[in-house]
Amino acid sequence: MNRAHLEWPFFEPEHRRLAQEVWAWARKNLGEHPETDVDRTCQRLVRALGEAGFIRYAVGGQAYGGAKETIDTRAVCLIREALAYHHGLADFAFAMQGLGSGAITLCGNEAQRARYLPKVAQGQAIAAFALSEPQAGSDVGGLSTLAQQEGGTYVLNGEKTWISNGGIADFYVVFARAPGSQGSKGISAFVVDADTPGLEVAERLEVMAPHPLATLRFRDCRIPRAQRLGEEGEGFKIAMQTLDIFRTSVAAAALGFARRALDEALARATTRRMFGQTLAEFQLTQAKLAQMAVQIDTAALLTYRAAWLRDQGRRVTLEAAMAKLTATEHAQQVIDAAVQLWGGLGVKKGQVVESLYREIRALRIYEGASEVQQLIIARELLKAYQKPEEVSV
């Protein structure tokens, strides 16, 4: 794959070195692994990524095993792009270590960080982010899981669903609301160990691209007050801050999938012969390949702009939404075009483009569906328009 984008001014020399290291490791270690047991494969990948030293980039705080004091968004994005290119489940395993522990990095106290983050960074503990519910996905303010405070403990009751790493995680960052509260107010965040009485895996969920997913049920699940992250009622803010870090990296994963699809399309187009010439010699094929390349670079520019801005300490709600929307939607189109160029083989199970077609679909939904990203972009535009004095030219 051509990695000329690493020369863009968004990156420091350390980012370029990291990218080369990840790509070399992925080529050596992420061959075609039949995923007959998704749970065991994911557990193996978490350990391998931890041993290779990559997960520490998804954890903040060097004292707790992180690569840096704060999470380097560009590093996370470069790692996800490389892993997604080679192995969708490897990307998933890496990303969920970051998302699942991100709230602890951001808002955990010293004891919480010391207890959980080193094991996450080393690949010795699997993390999960438990936000979505049967009736509350994109509408976080609609969640109904309750956290009733009783003395020095909280008692959780409710359900979470579509929880990545559900069933294999060692702990979950869970968001629940105080009884009687509404909307985004009254939501708090808690770290709940997987073996806590009252927490059960109600259902394992099978999806088109195999990943560990589950519905969790809380029945009088009692946890110490010391397991709350941040202050009472700060859960919504904690969730949004966590998603702001990792939403841009979803775009990077989509980039990895799209780049692999383009490479597969080029390989097919230049070797498949029909009507006396290669597929690549037809102008319609050339037009499609050109469109795919433009869509990938458009997405890459938005993705690494958002990552760079966040690493400068900027608020990137608008830029991250633009990156995720564009990268995931474009990747879907690029992969669909690759399947078309592969013809009948493109839908044969076991082909790379067929696997990519299944992998990309969920990215347009999780961590904020494309429609939600459009709403976020419009909201930010209107906010800026109503305060023109804050816009410099």
338-383 tens-digit pLDDT = 999 999 999 999 899 999 999 999 999 988 899 999 999 999 999 9
Q: Do the bridges between strand 153-164 and strand 146-150 make them parallel or antiparallel, or are there none, so unpaired?
A: antiparallel
Q: Which tokens sit at 373?
A: 């990203």
Average pLDDT over residues 130-152: 87
CA 211/CA 91 separation, integer angstroms: 11
52-83 tens-digit pLDDT = 999 999 999 999 999 999 999 999 999 999 99
In the chain, pLDDT over 90 holds for what percent of residues? 84
> 375: Cβ–Cβ under 8 A, 6 or more apart, which residues?
none
pLDDT score at 393: 40
224-256 tens-digit pLDDT = 999 999 999 999 999 988 988 899 999 999 999
Average per-residue pLDDT for the chain: 93
Residue 178 phi/psi, 5° resolution?
-75, 145
Q: Which tokens sit at 249?
A: 């990296």
Average pLDDT over residues 324-330: 97
Residue 334 phi/psi, 5° resolution?
-65, -45
258-283 tens-digit pLDDT = 999 999 999 999 999 999 999 999 99
pLDDT band, very low/low/confident/very high, at 34 (cuts 50, 70, 90): low
CA 148/CA 167 separation, integer angstroms: 25
Give me the active site residues, please.
Answer: 367
pLDDT score at 140: 77
Type of residue numbered 24:
A
pLDDT at 202 over 60: yes
CA 95/CA 54 separation, integer angstroms: 11
pLDDT score at 364: 94
Start-to-end CA distance of the chain, whole Å, equals 38
> 239: Cβ–Cβ under 8 A, 6 or more apart, which residues?
103, 131, 140, 175, 187, 189
pLDDT at 390 over 80: no
Considering the entire predicted model, what is its pTM? 0.93
DSSP string, 141-189: GG---EEEEETTEEEEEEEEEEEETTTT-SEEEEEEE-TT--TTTTEEE
